Amino acid sequence: MLRVQHQPFSMTAVTPRAQLRAVPYPQGFAKLAGVTYIIAPPAPPSLPIIGSEQRFPIRRVFCIGRNYAEHAREMGASVDKGTPMFFCKPADAVVGDGADVPYPSATSDLHHEVEMVVALGSGGRDVDPEQALSLVWGYGVGLDLTRRDLQAQAKAKGHPWDVAKAFDHSAPVSALRPAAAAGIDADTVLRLSVNGELRQQASLGEMVHGVPQIIAALSRLFELKAGDLVFTGTPAGVAALQRGDRCHAELVGVAELAARIV
């Protein structure tokens, strides 16, 4: 529970560095767990857990690109089996099951990418692929929503992908199922319907880099931590979404996600 106290401004309550920024905000400051903040800190993003009242706190969101060969081909790209390609979304881009997702600004080509989402319950650096699944806490299904027009511009100019991938509400994710109860294997089916019409479908065995390889590769670039989410790539069939569209994503037998574009 986030408790915000508004108190009279006090220079003694803030660090010297914070004083410089604190001066223009005489209306008060926020206290949380004994720490004084100059503005109210945001509540940590989290996801519900299937079969539990507890929630999974989200630390960071990593995504792999081009992890299904047919999708790489439809994007005019080639698959690099040696070096996975990663990008990130902010943790507060995650929205839960049943959310209304606002059609984002600055695009006229919003695309769906259905993906399995892996939730890490522990972390590490330089993790061996043989040990990597021991980091996995659970699984869900998500949409890596993409401003495809801005992504194409970024690719053409050699610019970063952030504005194409990391916008507000760009990561709808289902409730998570604990790994022990998920029964994930190469035959597990990932699929997306839009307005009742099947748009994307693949089995997890079609992934170029499997979950152990993805975790191992990420852990050589970042120290992974509990709470990190990993989007594991999308199969072929990505296409545009319009306002009013209803998405239904499934990791069959594991998790389901509904989202409406508004």
Instruction: Please say which residue, 29 or 144, places its beta carbon nearer to Mn ion.
Output: 144
Q: Using CB under 5 A, which residues numbered 48 to 67 contact Mn ion? A: none
Task: For the CB of residue 108, give the shortest distance to Mn ion in the complex, in Å.
Answer: 20
Distance between CA atoms of residues 18 and 167, nearest Å: 28
Closer residue to Mn ion (CB): 72 or 136: 72
Among 141, 151, 234, 247, the residue binding Mn ion under the rule CB under 5 A is 234
Distance in Å, CB of 242 to Mn ion, minimum:
20
The closest of 57, 80, 151, 58 to 113, measured between CA atoms, is 151
Q: Minimum CB separation from Mn ion for residue 6, in Å?
A: 42
**Smallest Cα–Cα separation from 142: which of 1, 249, 43?**
249
- Only one of the segments 20-28, 98-106, 137-145, 208-216 lies at the binding site for Mn ion (rule: CB under 5 A); that segment is 137-145
Q: Draw the binding track, 140-159, toward Mn ion (x: CB under 5 A; -: no contact).
A: ----x---------------
DSSP label at residue 220: H
Which of 97, 113, 228, 250 contacts Mn ion by CB under 5 A?
113
| Total residues at interface with Mn ion (CB under 5 A) | 3
- What b/e sequence results for 212-223 when a residue is b if at least 16 CB atoms lie within 10 Å of its CB, and e otherwise? bbbbbbbbeeee
Least separation, in Å, of the C-beta of 113 and Mn ion?
A: 4
Please report how close the Cβ of residue 99 comes to Mn ion at its closest, in angstroms.
18
Q: What distances in angstroms separate CA 85 from CA 4, 62, 179, 202, one per listed residue?
A: 41, 11, 25, 20
- Interface segment toward Mn ion; rule CB under 5 A; list 45-53, 166-174, 180-188, 230-238: 230-238
For residues 36 and 4, give the distance between their C-alpha atoms in angstroms, rounded to a whole number.
10
Question: Is there a contact between 172 and 96 (Cβ–Cβ < 8 Å)?
Answer: yes
SS3 3: coil
Please give the single-letter amino acid code of residue 77. Answer: A
Cα–Cα distance, 142 to 9 (Å, whole number): 43
Min separation Cβ 183 and Mn ion, Å? 24
Closer to Mn ion by CB, 151 or 234: give it.
234
Which residues contact Mn ion by CB under 5 A? 113, 144, 234
